[in-house]
Amino acid sequence: MGMNIQLDDGGAHGDDADVGNEAVVAEINITPLTDVFLVLLIIFMVTSTALVESEVASRAGMKVVLPKANAAGPVSQRHSDPVLTVTKSNELYLGSHKVDAANLESEIRKALAEVGSETLLIRGDKSVLLGAAVDIMSTAKKAGASHIAILTAPSK
């Protein structure tokens, strides 16, 4: 931040009466201040976008190709509802943590109790067999999930 100060010397005019009245002119250059604000704005925008994307990725677990559905309606999802992901190779992820099929019921029960919810959201790759999906939903019901929603991609 620069500041220019000009002092008007009264002795330059040859008048000794104005020697005690010096005029001070102060100007502030705001260009560097504006540059700093713009850089901070860009940093904030990039950081907030990265945080949102990382939060979505941490909730979703692994990337899967969701099956398409024509008549599926929107799911009323609370931010805290647990998401169970079934990958193409039948690996199970509760949130972003890998879960064994043997411990699935206890892990779902724990996840539902932590958030105080009875809703489990299931994301499955479109190549997952129906039998595996039925087994997972049966286990979720035993674990206390009274509402189970299967997430799909909208068809275009």
What pLDDT score does 57 carry?
60
Q: Do 75 and 50 share a structural domain?
A: no
Q: Do 94 and 77 share a structural domain?
A: yes
pTM (2 decimals)? Answer: 0.55
Estimate to the nearest angstrom the gap between the alpha carbon of 22 and the chain centroid: 58
CA distances 85 to 5, 19, 53, 151, Å, are: 67, 84, 18, 10
Q: How does pLDDT run across 79-88, given as a tens digit for each residue?
A: 678 888 888 8
Q: Do 69 and 51 share a structural domain?
A: no
Q: Are 133 and 124 in contact (CB under 8 A)?
A: yes
Greater model confidence, 21 or 143: 143
What pLDDT score does 43 carry?
94
Q: Do 48 and 79 share a structural domain?
A: no
| Percent of the chain residues past pLDDT 70, beyond the cut | 72
What pLDDT score does 51 carry?
80
Q: Please tell me the distance from the alpha carbon of residue 48 to that of residue 44, in angstroms, as a whole number.
A: 6
Q: Do 67 and 28 share a structural domain?
A: no
Q: Do 145 and 68 share a structural domain?
A: yes
pLDDT at 136 over 80: yes
Q: Do 144 and 70 share a structural domain?
A: yes
Q: How does pLDDT run across 2-49, given as a tens digit for each residue?
A: 556 666 555 555 555 555 677 787 888 889 999 999 999 999 998 888
Which candidate, 78, 91, 79, places its Cα nearest to that of 124? 91
Q: Do 104 and 131 share a structural domain?
A: yes
| 3-state SS, one letter per residue, for 9-41 | CHHHHCCHHHCCCCCEEEEECCHHHHHHHHHHH
Q: Could you give the number of structural domains in the chain?
A: 2
Q: Answer with the one of 15, 37, 58 that is the final residue of a domain.
A: 58
Q: Do 74 and 150 share a structural domain?
A: yes
Q: What is the mean pLDDT of the chain?
A: 79
What pLDDT score does 42 carry?
95
Which candidate, 107, 49, 50, 47, places its Cα nearest to that of 83? 107
Residue 133: pLDDT band (50, 70, 90) is confident
CATH number at residue 128: 3.30.420.270
Domain that residue 98 falls in: 61-154
pLDDT at 152 over 90: no
